[in-house]
Structure 1
Protein backbone atom coordinates (compact mmCIF):
# COMPACT_ATOMS: atom_id res chain seq x y z
CA UNK A 1 0.00 0.00 0.00
CA UNK A 2 2.79 2.37 0.97
CA UNK A 3 4.69 1.60 -2.24
CA UNK A 4 1.55 2.33 -4.25
CA UNK A 5 1.08 5.69 -2.51
CA UNK A 6 4.71 6.63 -3.09
CA UNK A 7 4.37 5.72 -6.76
CA UNK A 8 1.22 7.85 -7.11
CA UNK A 9 2.88 10.80 -5.40
CA UNK A 10 5.90 10.48 -7.68
CA UNK A 11 3.68 10.43 -10.79
CA UNK A 12 1.68 13.41 -9.52
CA UNK A 13 4.81 15.45 -8.88
CA UNK A 14 6.21 14.60 -12.30
CA UNK A 15 2.98 15.58 -14.03
CA UNK A 16 2.77 18.79 -12.01
CA UNK A 17 6.29 19.70 -13.05
CA UNK A 18 5.55 18.86 -16.68
CA UNK A 19 2.38 20.91 -16.93
CA UNK A 20 3.91 23.80 -15.04
CA UNK A 21 6.86 23.77 -17.43
CA UNK A 22 4.72 23.78 -20.52
CA UNK A 23 3.31 27.16 -19.48
CA UNK A 24 6.73 28.83 -19.71
CA UNK A 25 7.25 30.72 -22.95
CA UNK A 26 10.78 31.24 -24.24
CA UNK A 27 11.84 34.67 -25.45
CA UNK A 28 15.01 35.92 -27.04
CA UNK A 29 15.55 39.36 -25.52
CA UNK A 30 17.26 42.55 -26.69
CA UNK A 31 16.62 45.34 -24.19
CA UNK A 32 18.26 48.77 -24.66
CA UNK A 33 18.76 51.17 -21.77
CA UNK A 34 16.91 53.79 -23.84
CA UNK A 35 14.60 53.38 -26.82
CA UNK A 36 14.27 57.09 -27.63
CA UNK A 37 17.53 59.02 -27.44
CA UNK A 38 16.92 62.78 -27.27
CA UNK A 39 19.39 65.67 -27.51
CA UNK A 40 19.80 66.01 -23.74
CA UNK A 41 19.98 62.25 -23.06
CA UNK A 42 23.05 60.12 -22.51
CA UNK A 43 24.23 59.24 -26.02
CA UNK A 44 25.83 56.00 -24.79
CA UNK A 45 23.26 53.24 -24.42
CA UNK A 46 23.60 49.68 -23.22
CA UNK A 47 22.04 46.84 -25.19
CA UNK A 48 21.47 43.61 -23.23
CA UNK A 49 20.97 40.31 -25.06
CA UNK A 50 19.56 37.34 -23.16
CA UNK A 51 17.24 34.33 -23.35
CA UNK A 52 14.57 33.83 -20.72
CA UNK A 53 11.06 33.50 -19.42
CA UNK A 54 10.66 37.27 -18.92
CA UNK A 55 7.56 37.36 -16.74
CA UNK A 56 8.78 34.75 -14.25
CA UNK A 57 12.34 36.14 -14.43
CA UNK A 58 13.66 32.66 -15.13
CA UNK A 59 16.81 32.90 -17.20
CA UNK A 60 18.54 30.46 -19.56
CA UNK A 61 22.03 30.34 -20.98
CA UNK A 62 22.66 32.41 -24.10
CA UNK A 63 25.91 31.40 -25.74
CA UNK A 64 27.52 33.99 -27.97
CA UNK A 65 25.10 34.59 -30.89
CA UNK A 66 25.95 33.69 -34.47
CA UNK A 67 24.91 37.17 -35.61
CA UNK A 68 24.59 40.48 -33.77
CA UNK A 69 24.18 43.64 -35.83
CA UNK A 70 22.54 47.03 -35.98
CA UNK A 71 20.84 48.40 -39.09
CA UNK A 72 20.92 52.18 -39.24
CA UNK A 73 20.30 54.52 -42.15
CA UNK A 74 20.21 51.58 -44.53
CA UNK A 75 23.54 50.11 -43.41
CA UNK A 76 24.15 46.95 -41.40
CA UNK A 77 27.00 47.15 -38.91
CA UNK A 78 28.46 44.03 -37.31
CA UNK A 79 28.55 44.20 -33.51
CA UNK A 80 29.63 40.63 -32.75
CA UNK A 81 33.09 41.75 -31.60
CA UNK A 82 31.55 44.39 -29.35
CA UNK A 83 29.72 41.83 -27.22
CA UNK A 84 30.83 41.51 -23.61
CA UNK A 85 29.75 38.65 -21.39
CA UNK A 86 27.42 39.51 -18.51
CA UNK A 87 24.58 37.94 -16.54
CA UNK A 88 20.83 38.41 -16.80
CA UNK A 89 18.58 36.52 -14.39
CA UNK A 90 21.60 34.59 -13.14
CA UNK A 91 22.56 33.19 -16.55
CA UNK A 92 25.03 34.00 -19.29
CA UNK A 93 23.99 37.01 -21.35
CA UNK A 94 25.71 39.69 -23.42
CA UNK A 95 25.97 43.46 -23.37
CA UNK A 96 26.97 46.10 -25.90
CA UNK A 97 28.02 49.67 -25.11
CA UNK A 98 26.80 51.61 -28.12
CA UNK A 99 27.35 55.28 -28.84
CA UNK A 100 24.53 56.95 -30.78
CA UNK A 101 26.15 59.66 -32.90
CA UNK A 102 23.72 60.39 -35.70
CA UNK A 103 19.97 60.95 -36.02
CA UNK A 104 18.14 57.90 -37.28
CA UNK A 105 16.38 54.66 -36.49
CA UNK A 106 18.61 51.90 -35.12
CA UNK A 107 17.45 48.28 -35.41
CA UNK A 108 19.45 45.99 -33.14
CA UNK A 109 19.08 42.30 -33.90
CA UNK A 110 20.58 38.89 -33.25
CA UNK A 111 20.49 35.35 -34.54
CA UNK A 112 21.36 33.05 -31.63
CA UNK A 113 22.87 29.60 -31.83
CA UNK A 114 20.23 26.83 -31.69
CA UNK A 115 19.11 26.10 -28.12
CA UNK A 116 18.20 22.52 -27.25
CA UNK A 117 15.02 22.37 -25.13
CA UNK A 118 14.50 18.85 -23.74
CA UNK A 119 11.05 19.71 -22.35
CA UNK A 120 9.80 20.36 -25.88
CA UNK A 121 12.09 17.85 -27.62
CA UNK A 122 13.21 20.44 -30.15
CA UNK A 123 15.74 23.15 -30.92
CA UNK A 124 14.82 26.83 -30.57
CA UNK A 125 16.12 29.75 -32.63
CA UNK A 126 14.67 33.19 -31.91
CA UNK A 127 15.47 35.90 -34.45
CA UNK A 128 15.21 38.84 -32.09
CA UNK A 129 15.18 42.59 -32.62
CA UNK A 130 14.31 45.94 -31.06
CA UNK A 131 14.20 49.47 -32.44
CA UNK A 132 15.84 52.63 -31.04
CA UNK A 133 15.20 56.10 -32.45
CA UNK A 134 17.52 59.08 -32.02
CA UNK A 135 17.48 62.87 -32.15
CA UNK A 136 13.99 63.29 -33.60
CA UNK A 137 14.51 61.18 -36.72
CA UNK A 138 11.86 58.47 -37.03
CA UNK A 139 12.06 57.50 -40.69
CA UNK A 140 12.36 53.84 -41.63
CA UNK A 141 10.98 52.21 -38.47
CA UNK A 142 9.01 49.75 -40.63
CA UNK A 143 11.92 48.61 -42.80
CA UNK A 144 12.62 44.90 -43.07
CA UNK A 145 15.97 43.59 -41.93
CA UNK A 146 15.54 40.42 -43.99
CA UNK A 147 15.68 37.82 -41.23
CA UNK A 148 14.56 34.23 -41.79
CA UNK A 149 11.42 35.11 -39.84
CA UNK A 150 10.60 38.63 -38.73
CA UNK A 151 7.87 40.83 -37.27
CA UNK A 152 7.48 44.00 -39.34
CA UNK A 153 5.83 46.73 -37.22
CA UNK A 154 2.76 48.51 -38.53
CA UNK A 155 2.78 50.80 -35.49
CA UNK A 156 5.88 52.76 -34.52
CA UNK A 157 7.74 50.42 -32.15
CA UNK A 158 8.61 53.36 -29.88
CA UNK A 159 6.77 56.37 -28.45
CA UNK A 160 3.77 54.25 -27.44
CA UNK A 161 1.54 55.04 -24.49
CA UNK A 162 0.13 52.26 -22.35
CA UNK A 163 -3.09 51.10 -24.00
CA UNK A 164 -2.00 52.12 -27.50
CA UNK A 165 -2.49 49.51 -30.19
CA UNK A 166 0.62 47.77 -31.49
CA UNK A 167 0.35 45.95 -34.81
CA UNK A 168 2.82 43.90 -36.78
CA UNK A 169 3.05 41.56 -39.75
CA UNK A 170 4.53 38.11 -39.17
CA UNK A 171 6.79 37.07 -42.05
CA UNK A 172 8.61 33.85 -42.85
CA UNK A 173 11.07 33.83 -45.75
CA UNK A 174 9.80 37.28 -46.63
CA UNK A 175 6.14 36.24 -46.93
CA UNK A 176 3.25 36.95 -44.52
CA UNK A 177 2.18 34.01 -42.34
CA UNK A 178 -1.64 33.69 -42.24
CA UNK A 179 -3.08 33.07 -38.78
CA UNK A 180 0.37 32.96 -37.16
CA UNK A 181 0.36 32.34 -33.44
CA UNK A 182 1.98 35.14 -31.43
CA UNK A 183 2.98 34.84 -27.77
CA UNK A 184 3.03 38.06 -25.76
CA UNK A 185 4.79 38.54 -22.45
CA UNK A 186 5.68 41.38 -20.11
CA UNK A 187 9.25 41.82 -18.87
CA UNK A 188 8.55 41.75 -15.16
CA UNK A 189 11.90 43.37 -14.45
CA UNK A 190 11.30 44.29 -10.80
CA UNK A 191 9.30 41.15 -10.06
CA UNK A 192 6.46 43.25 -8.67
CA UNK A 193 3.69 41.89 -10.89
CA UNK A 194 1.91 38.66 -10.04
CA UNK A 195 -0.31 36.97 -12.60
CA UNK A 196 -3.76 35.98 -11.25
CA UNK A 197 -3.35 32.55 -12.87
CA UNK A 198 -0.68 30.77 -14.92
CA UNK A 199 -2.86 31.32 -17.99
CA UNK A 200 -2.08 35.04 -17.79
CA UNK A 201 1.71 34.81 -17.66
CA UNK A 202 1.93 34.40 -21.43
CA UNK A 203 -0.91 35.70 -23.57
CA UNK A 204 -1.49 34.21 -27.00
CA UNK A 205 -3.06 35.94 -29.97
CA UNK A 206 -3.38 35.01 -33.63
CA UNK A 207 -2.67 37.01 -36.72
CA UNK A 208 -5.34 37.43 -39.37
CA UNK A 209 -5.26 35.93 -42.86
CA UNK A 210 -2.72 38.59 -43.90
CA UNK A 211 -0.35 37.79 -41.04
CA UNK A 212 -1.29 40.96 -39.12
CA UNK A 213 -1.69 40.83 -35.32
CA UNK A 214 -2.96 43.48 -32.91
CA UNK A 215 -2.30 44.01 -29.20
CA UNK A 216 -2.88 46.75 -26.61
CA UNK A 217 -0.48 46.63 -23.64
CA UNK A 218 -2.23 47.06 -20.25
CA UNK A 219 0.91 48.28 -18.45
CA UNK A 220 3.95 50.40 -19.17
CA UNK A 221 7.29 48.69 -19.69
CA UNK A 222 8.89 46.29 -22.14
CA UNK A 223 6.69 43.78 -23.96
CA UNK A 224 7.91 40.91 -26.10
CA UNK A 225 6.06 39.54 -29.13
CA UNK A 226 7.15 36.12 -30.39
CA UNK A 227 5.64 34.64 -33.55
CA UNK A 228 6.44 30.93 -33.64
CA UNK A 229 6.77 28.58 -36.58
CA UNK A 230 8.47 25.26 -37.25
CA UNK A 231 11.42 25.25 -39.65
CA UNK A 232 11.23 23.10 -42.76
CA UNK A 233 14.70 21.83 -41.83
CA UNK A 234 15.51 19.55 -38.92
CA UNK A 235 18.62 19.30 -36.76
CA UNK A 236 20.35 16.29 -35.28
CA UNK A 237 20.39 15.70 -31.53
CA UNK A 238 22.45 12.65 -30.56
CA UNK A 239 21.99 11.31 -34.06
CA UNK A 240 18.22 11.77 -34.16
CA UNK A 241 16.45 14.38 -36.32
CA UNK A 242 14.56 16.97 -34.27
CA UNK A 243 12.21 19.84 -35.10
CA UNK A 244 13.45 23.42 -34.94
CA UNK A 245 11.17 26.11 -33.51
CA UNK A 246 11.94 29.44 -35.17
CA UNK A 247 10.60 32.58 -33.57
CA UNK A 248 10.30 36.12 -34.88
CA UNK A 249 10.68 38.28 -31.78
CA UNK A 250 10.37 42.03 -31.33
CA UNK A 251 10.62 43.98 -28.06
CA UNK A 252 8.56 47.16 -27.71
CA UNK A 253 8.35 49.62 -24.81
CA UNK A 254 5.09 51.25 -23.70
CA UNK A 255 4.98 54.32 -21.44
CA UNK A 256 2.42 55.23 -18.80
CA UNK A 257 0.95 58.66 -19.41
CA UNK A 258 1.75 61.07 -16.56
Structure 2
Protein backbone atom coordinates (compact mmCIF):
# COMPACT_ATOMS: atom_id res chain seq x y z
CA UNK A 1 0.00 0.00 0.00
CA UNK A 2 1.34 3.40 -0.91
CA UNK A 3 2.04 5.79 1.91
CA UNK A 4 -0.62 8.44 2.42
CA UNK A 5 0.79 11.87 1.74
CA UNK A 6 1.04 14.30 4.63
CA UNK A 7 -1.39 16.74 3.01
CA UNK A 8 -4.05 14.05 2.61
CA UNK A 9 -3.45 12.81 6.12
CA UNK A 10 -4.16 16.14 7.74
CA UNK A 11 -7.33 16.48 5.70
CA UNK A 12 -8.65 13.10 6.70
CA UNK A 13 -7.40 12.41 10.22
CA UNK A 14 -8.49 14.14 13.43
CA UNK A 15 -6.06 13.68 16.28
CA UNK A 16 -6.91 13.65 19.93
CA UNK A 17 -4.90 16.04 22.05
CA UNK A 18 -2.48 14.45 24.46
CA UNK A 19 -2.54 16.86 27.39
CA UNK A 20 -5.73 17.98 29.02
CA UNK A 21 -6.48 21.49 30.25
CA UNK A 22 -6.00 23.46 27.06
CA UNK A 23 -6.12 27.22 27.51
CA UNK A 24 -8.85 29.19 25.77
CA UNK A 25 -9.66 32.83 25.57
CA UNK A 26 -13.44 32.84 26.01
CA UNK A 27 -15.91 35.39 24.63
CA UNK A 28 -19.37 33.99 25.27
CA UNK A 29 -22.55 35.91 24.42
CA UNK A 30 -25.99 35.00 25.70
CA UNK A 31 -27.18 34.61 22.09
CA UNK A 32 -25.77 34.42 18.57
CA UNK A 33 -28.87 36.15 17.15
CA UNK A 34 -30.58 39.46 17.87
CA UNK A 35 -34.25 39.96 17.04
CA UNK A 36 -37.07 42.40 17.74
CA UNK A 37 -37.74 40.40 20.92
CA UNK A 38 -34.05 40.21 21.93
CA UNK A 39 -32.25 43.46 21.04
CA UNK A 40 -29.30 43.44 23.46
CA UNK A 41 -26.50 40.91 23.70
CA UNK A 42 -24.71 40.28 27.00
CA UNK A 43 -21.10 39.11 26.70
CA UNK A 44 -18.66 37.54 29.15
CA UNK A 45 -14.89 37.55 28.63
CA UNK A 46 -12.69 35.06 30.47
CA UNK A 47 -9.61 32.85 30.23
CA UNK A 48 -10.32 29.27 31.16
CA UNK A 49 -10.19 25.54 30.59
CA UNK A 50 -13.76 25.40 29.27
CA UNK A 51 -14.50 21.68 29.38
CA UNK A 52 -13.17 20.98 32.86
CA UNK A 53 -14.46 24.25 34.30
CA UNK A 54 -11.15 25.56 35.62
CA UNK A 55 -10.63 29.31 35.36
CA UNK A 56 -7.63 31.61 35.31
CA UNK A 57 -7.29 35.32 35.93
CA UNK A 58 -8.04 37.49 32.91
CA UNK A 59 -6.38 40.87 33.29
CA UNK A 60 -8.38 43.68 31.67
CA UNK A 61 -7.78 43.17 27.94
CA UNK A 62 -5.45 45.37 25.95
CA UNK A 63 -8.26 45.88 23.45
CA UNK A 64 -11.96 45.04 23.12
CA UNK A 65 -14.11 46.18 20.22
CA UNK A 66 -16.93 45.26 17.87
CA UNK A 67 -16.52 45.33 14.10
CA UNK A 68 -19.77 46.31 12.39
CA UNK A 69 -20.19 44.55 9.04
CA UNK A 70 -16.42 43.88 9.07
CA UNK A 71 -15.75 47.59 8.69
CA UNK A 72 -16.49 50.19 11.36
CA UNK A 73 -14.89 49.40 14.72
CA UNK A 74 -16.44 50.54 17.98
CA UNK A 75 -14.16 50.56 21.04
CA UNK A 76 -15.89 48.81 23.95
CA UNK A 77 -13.01 48.55 26.41
CA UNK A 78 -14.45 51.21 28.72
CA UNK A 79 -17.76 49.31 28.98
CA UNK A 80 -16.21 46.27 30.68
CA UNK A 81 -17.12 45.53 34.27
CA UNK A 82 -15.44 43.03 36.55
CA UNK A 83 -17.11 39.70 37.19
CA UNK A 84 -16.13 36.14 38.11
CA UNK A 85 -16.02 33.08 35.87
CA UNK A 86 -15.06 29.75 37.42
CA UNK A 87 -14.00 31.68 40.51
CA UNK A 88 -11.52 33.93 38.70
CA UNK A 89 -11.40 37.50 37.44
CA UNK A 90 -13.35 37.97 34.24
CA UNK A 91 -15.26 40.77 32.47
CA UNK A 92 -18.76 41.42 31.27
CA UNK A 93 -20.63 43.96 29.18
CA UNK A 94 -23.77 44.39 27.09
CA UNK A 95 -24.26 45.87 23.63
CA UNK A 96 -27.31 47.02 21.69
CA UNK A 97 -26.78 47.38 17.93
CA UNK A 98 -28.19 50.48 16.28
CA UNK A 99 -28.95 48.73 12.98
CA UNK A 100 -29.26 45.27 11.43
CA UNK A 101 -26.01 43.66 10.33
CA UNK A 102 -23.07 41.53 11.29
CA UNK A 103 -21.37 42.27 14.64
CA UNK A 104 -18.01 40.64 15.39
CA UNK A 105 -16.76 41.12 18.95
CA UNK A 106 -13.01 40.81 19.53
CA UNK A 107 -10.77 40.98 22.58
CA UNK A 108 -6.97 41.02 22.55
CA UNK A 109 -5.59 40.16 26.00
CA UNK A 110 -2.51 41.21 27.84
CA UNK A 111 -0.26 38.13 27.41
CA UNK A 112 -0.80 35.60 30.20
CA UNK A 113 2.32 34.30 31.94
CA UNK A 114 2.18 30.50 32.04
CA UNK A 115 4.97 29.23 34.25
CA UNK A 116 4.00 25.60 33.72
CA UNK A 117 4.93 25.95 30.03
CA UNK A 118 7.56 28.66 30.50
CA UNK A 119 5.82 30.92 28.00
CA UNK A 120 3.24 33.66 27.57
CA UNK A 121 -0.17 33.17 25.94
CA UNK A 122 -1.99 35.70 23.78
CA UNK A 123 -5.35 34.47 22.52
CA UNK A 124 -7.04 36.96 20.19
CA UNK A 125 -10.63 35.89 20.63
CA UNK A 126 -13.77 36.64 18.65
CA UNK A 127 -17.44 35.75 18.30
CA UNK A 128 -19.91 36.71 15.58
CA UNK A 129 -23.49 37.89 16.19
CA UNK A 130 -26.21 38.07 13.53
CA UNK A 131 -28.52 41.06 14.12
CA UNK A 132 -32.03 40.85 12.66
CA UNK A 133 -31.13 38.28 10.02
CA UNK A 134 -28.86 40.69 8.14
CA UNK A 135 -25.50 39.09 8.95
CA UNK A 136 -23.67 38.65 5.66
CA UNK A 137 -20.03 38.45 4.53
CA UNK A 138 -19.12 36.52 7.66
CA UNK A 139 -16.02 35.09 5.92
CA UNK A 140 -14.17 38.42 5.68
CA UNK A 141 -10.90 38.79 7.67
CA UNK A 142 -10.65 41.62 10.20
CA UNK A 143 -6.92 42.13 9.78
CA UNK A 144 -5.99 40.80 13.22
CA UNK A 145 -2.46 39.61 13.99
CA UNK A 146 -3.90 36.11 13.91
CA UNK A 147 -7.49 34.99 13.41
CA UNK A 148 -9.77 32.19 12.27
CA UNK A 149 -11.84 33.21 9.26
CA UNK A 150 -14.93 30.98 9.16
CA UNK A 151 -15.75 28.97 6.04
CA UNK A 152 -18.91 27.72 7.75
CA UNK A 153 -21.42 30.38 8.80
CA UNK A 154 -20.48 31.03 12.46
CA UNK A 155 -24.08 31.26 13.72
CA UNK A 156 -27.36 29.44 13.20
CA UNK A 157 -25.87 25.93 13.19
CA UNK A 158 -27.32 22.59 14.20
CA UNK A 159 -25.48 20.33 16.62
CA UNK A 160 -23.67 17.81 14.48
CA UNK A 161 -22.80 20.34 11.79
CA UNK A 162 -19.26 20.61 10.51
CA UNK A 163 -17.40 23.82 11.29
CA UNK A 164 -14.66 24.81 8.89
CA UNK A 165 -12.28 27.75 9.03
CA UNK A 166 -8.92 29.02 7.82
CA UNK A 167 -6.21 30.14 10.24
CA UNK A 168 -4.46 33.36 9.27
CA UNK A 169 -1.23 34.77 10.69
CA UNK A 170 -0.35 38.25 9.55
CA UNK A 171 -3.19 38.06 7.05
CA UNK A 172 -1.83 34.93 5.35
CA UNK A 173 -3.00 31.31 5.62
CA UNK A 174 -0.96 29.32 8.15
CA UNK A 175 -0.44 25.78 6.76
CA UNK A 176 -0.55 22.81 9.11
CA UNK A 177 -1.50 24.89 12.14
CA UNK A 178 -2.60 22.83 15.14
CA UNK A 179 -6.16 23.71 16.12
CA UNK A 180 -7.42 22.80 19.58
CA UNK A 181 -11.18 22.36 19.96
CA UNK A 182 -13.09 22.31 23.22
CA UNK A 183 -16.70 22.32 24.38
CA UNK A 184 -17.83 24.86 26.98
CA UNK A 185 -19.10 22.42 29.59
CA UNK A 186 -20.93 25.17 31.46
CA UNK A 187 -23.20 22.99 33.58
CA UNK A 188 -20.56 20.30 34.11
CA UNK A 189 -22.84 17.54 32.86
CA UNK A 190 -20.46 16.24 30.22
CA UNK A 191 -17.81 13.80 31.37
CA UNK A 192 -14.81 12.81 29.27
CA UNK A 193 -13.97 9.09 29.44
CA UNK A 194 -10.28 9.96 29.76
CA UNK A 195 -7.97 12.99 29.63
CA UNK A 196 -7.20 12.77 25.94
CA UNK A 197 -10.89 13.27 25.12
CA UNK A 198 -11.15 16.64 26.90
CA UNK A 199 -9.49 18.65 24.14
CA UNK A 200 -9.86 17.60 20.52
CA UNK A 201 -7.17 18.50 18.01
CA UNK A 202 -7.05 18.81 14.23
CA UNK A 203 -4.42 20.06 11.81
CA UNK A 204 -4.97 22.58 9.06
CA UNK A 205 -4.15 21.50 5.53
CA UNK A 206 -1.60 23.19 3.30
CA UNK A 207 -3.94 26.15 2.79
CA UNK A 208 -4.55 26.70 6.50
CA UNK A 209 -8.03 25.14 6.40
CA UNK A 210 -9.38 22.88 9.17
CA UNK A 211 -12.62 20.95 9.61
CA UNK A 212 -14.36 19.66 12.73
CA UNK A 213 -17.83 18.19 13.39
CA UNK A 214 -19.41 19.39 16.67
CA UNK A 215 -21.51 16.60 18.23
CA UNK A 216 -23.33 18.49 21.01
CA UNK A 217 -25.48 21.55 21.50
CA UNK A 218 -23.70 24.49 23.10
CA UNK A 219 -20.66 26.69 22.59
CA UNK A 220 -17.52 25.33 20.91
CA UNK A 221 -14.13 27.04 20.96
CA UNK A 222 -11.54 26.71 18.20
CA UNK A 223 -7.96 27.85 18.87
CA UNK A 224 -5.41 27.91 16.04
CA UNK A 225 -2.01 27.94 17.76
CA UNK A 226 1.25 29.33 16.45
CA UNK A 227 4.41 30.80 17.99
CA UNK A 228 5.16 34.50 17.57
CA UNK A 229 8.36 35.36 15.73
CA UNK A 230 9.54 37.51 18.63
CA UNK A 231 9.53 36.42 22.29
CA UNK A 232 7.63 38.36 24.91
CA UNK A 233 9.53 39.40 28.05
CA UNK A 234 12.16 36.76 27.39
CA UNK A 235 9.78 33.88 26.83
CA UNK A 236 8.13 32.20 23.86
CA UNK A 237 4.74 33.76 23.01
CA UNK A 238 1.90 31.46 22.00
CA UNK A 239 -0.35 33.23 19.50
CA UNK A 240 -3.87 31.84 19.53
CA UNK A 241 -6.52 32.64 16.95
CA UNK A 242 -9.76 31.82 18.78
CA UNK A 243 -13.37 31.79 17.62
CA UNK A 244 -16.49 30.65 19.48
CA UNK A 245 -19.46 29.12 17.69
CA UNK A 246 -22.79 27.95 19.09
CA UNK A 247 -24.38 24.70 17.92
CA UNK A 248 -28.11 24.48 18.53
TM-score calculated relative to the size of structure 2: 0.91
Q: Could you tell me which of 240, 243, 248 is aligned with 1:247?
A: 240
Q: How many residues align?
A: 230
Q: CA deviation at 1:23?
A: 2.0
Higher relative contact order at CA 8 Å, sep ≥6: structure 1 or structure 2?
A: 2
Between the aligned partners of 2:57 and 2:85, the Cα distance in structure 1 is: 9
| Kept in 1: contact 2:123–2:239 (CA 8 A) | yes
The residue number in structure 2 matching 1:126 is 123
| Kept in 2: contact 1:43–1:101 (CA 8 A) | no
Q: CA deviation at 1:143?
A: 1.6
Q: CA deviation at 1:230?
A: 0.5
- Unpaired runs of at least 5, structure 1: 1-20
Between the aligned partners of 1:209 and 1:94, the Cα distance in structure 2 is: 37
Q: CA deviation at 1:22?
A: 4.4
| Partner SS for 1:219 | coil
Q: Could you tell me which of 207, 213, 225 is aligned with 1:216?
A: 213
| Kept in 1: contact 2:34–2:40 (CA 8 A) | no
Q: Could you tell me which of 54, 58, 71 is aligned with 2:54?
A: 58
Larger radius of gyration: 1
| Partner SS for 1:191 | coil
**Structure 2 residue 158 is matched with structure 1 residue 152:** no
**Structure 2 residue 112 is matched with structure 1 residue 115:** yes
Q: Deviations over 1:69-93 (max 9, x none)?
A: 0001320000010111111111000
Q: Deviations over 1:54-107 (max 9, x none)?
A: 000000000100000000132000001011111111100001111123100100
**Structure 2 residue 203 is matched with structure 1 residue 197:** no
Q: CA deviation at 1:139?
A: 1.1
Q: Deviations over 1:194-236 (max 9, x none)?
A: 0011110000000111000001101010000000000001122
**Structure 2 residue 184 is matched with structure 1 residue 187:** yes
| Kept in 2: contact 1:29–1:251 (CA 8 A) | yes
Between the aligned partners of 2:133 and 2:228, the Cα distance in structure 1 is: 39
Q: Which runs of 4+ in 1 moved over 2 A?
A: none
Between the aligned partners of 2:47 and 2:232, the Cα distance in structure 1 is: 20
The residue number in structure 2 matching 1:11 is none
| Kept in 1: contact 2:148–2:242 (CA 8 A) | yes
Q: CA deviation at 1:177?
A: 0.7
Higher mean C-alpha deviation, range 110-119 or range 133-142: 133-142
The residue number in structure 1 matching 2:22 is 25
- Unpaired runs of at least 5, structure 2: 1-17
TM-score calculated relative to the size of structure 1: 0.87
The residue number in structure 1 matching 2:232 is 235
